[in-house]
Amino acid sequence: MKEVDNKNQFFRKQLLDWNAEHNHRDMPWKGEKDPYKIWLSEIILQQTRVEQGLAYYNRFIKTFPTVHHLAKAPDNTVFKLWEGLGYYTRCKNLIASAKYISVELKGKFPDKYEDILALKGIGPYTAAAIGSFAFNLPHAVVDGNVFRVLARYFGIETATDTTEGKKLFTNLANELLDKKTPGIYNQALMDFGAVICKPQQPLCHECPLQKTCTAYQHDLINVLPVKEKTIIKKPRWLYYFIVEHNGNVYVRKRTGKDVWQNLYEFFLVENEKELSLKEIEKLTVLKKAIGKIQFELIDISKIYKQVLSHQIIYGQFIKVKILSELEIDGFEIVGKKKLKTLPFPKLINSYLEE
């Protein structure tokens, strides 16, 4: 037991010493005490790399300097600013929580772990991060970086993506937590995983934990951490008809429980497999939708591709001009000026930008 305590103390001390003397990872939210800004950064960084999220964070803070500004903004404005970050449920939850904090809590961010956890879109990791960084609450963060550092240093072979693994790593992380400075410790551990104990080619020669690291001593660096589940990505084929009349086009907001909810799209036909050029040129689905209205096929785009966590989406765009106005249920007709203000998925934006 004493040996375990000694190893834990060594880990904690070396980590904090490294953070004080060698950690130069600079981010605008580090050392921040405003819970609104910390919350915003954490929501943006859920399932997003720091390199990508940084520019979004700066734009959000500039556009919405307080939670009241964010709460009062039209949903489409917020979604447009979020455009390209993916996982749009995060943005939907961000809007809902901003309105709740602004109206119900009069702008005062919750300062208890359980109350932070109760906000929409916040799980144990995000609640621990906000709680420790903003309010110095003694809760350990457990993210991918933490899983990796702890698995390698302590030689833990339990899979991180199992119920047993999550419980084991969470308990260990809380056991190791420096209760006096939980915010500093949590940030140090995450930074250490990002800078030194990287997923690929970790800097073991620079690591202050090297001498007592189980993975280093037993050549398990490329084995740990262990993951049990392998994600199989399902392919989807989306064919978008850009129906144009007098320079305006038909668009609709996606409302179903699927990818890109609350974002806009054109007239969509989804197929189980790729369609040939001849099959697309038949325009059978479009003919059924528009009835006897005359139309002209203008252009068929190349195939675009977007890789999501559980699916690979292939998209093709078919430009069609119709000779009289059309009533399509759920669609609105917009000009090019308004089109630029609407939030679209990355796949559609890739086409529009070209």
Q: What is the pLDDT of residues 190-225, one digit of tens each?
A: 999 999 999 999 999 999 999 999 999 999 999 999
Same domain, 242 and 213: no
Residue 2: per-residue pLDDT: 58
Look at residue 199 and tell me if it is in a domain.
yes
Q: Provide the domain limits for residue 326.
A: 234-353
Annotation marks residue 42 as catalytic? yes
Shared domain for 324 and 211, answered yes or no, is no
Q: Is residue 161 part of a domain?
A: yes
pTM over 0.95: no
Backbone angles phi, psi at 134, to 5 degrees: -90, -35
| Number of domains observed in the structure of the chain | 2
Kindly state whether residues 131 and 265 are assigned to the same domain. Answer: no
* Domain-terminating residue out of 192, 217, 242: 217
| More confident call, 230 vs 236 | 236
- 210 and 278 share a domain? no
The answer on 238 and 197 residing in a single domain is no
**Residues 204 and 330 occupy one common structural domain:** no
> Cα 322 from chain centroid?
39
Do 140 and 34 share a structural domain?
yes
Kindly name the residue from 42, 83, 244, 265 that is annotated as catalytic. 42
* Within-domain flag for 182: yes
Instruction: Check whether residue 129 and residue 262 sit in a common domain.
Output: no
pLDDT (tens digit per residue) in 253-263: 998 888 898 89
The answer to whether 234 and 62 have CB atoms below 8 angstroms apart is no
One domain for residues 155 and 19: yes
- Rounded to the nearest 10 degrees, how much is the dihedral formed by the CA atoms of 270, 274, 278, 280? 20
**CATH code for the domain of 59:** 1.10.340.30
* CATH number of the structural domain spanning residue 323: 3.90.79.10
Q: Are residues 192 and 299 in the same domain?
A: no
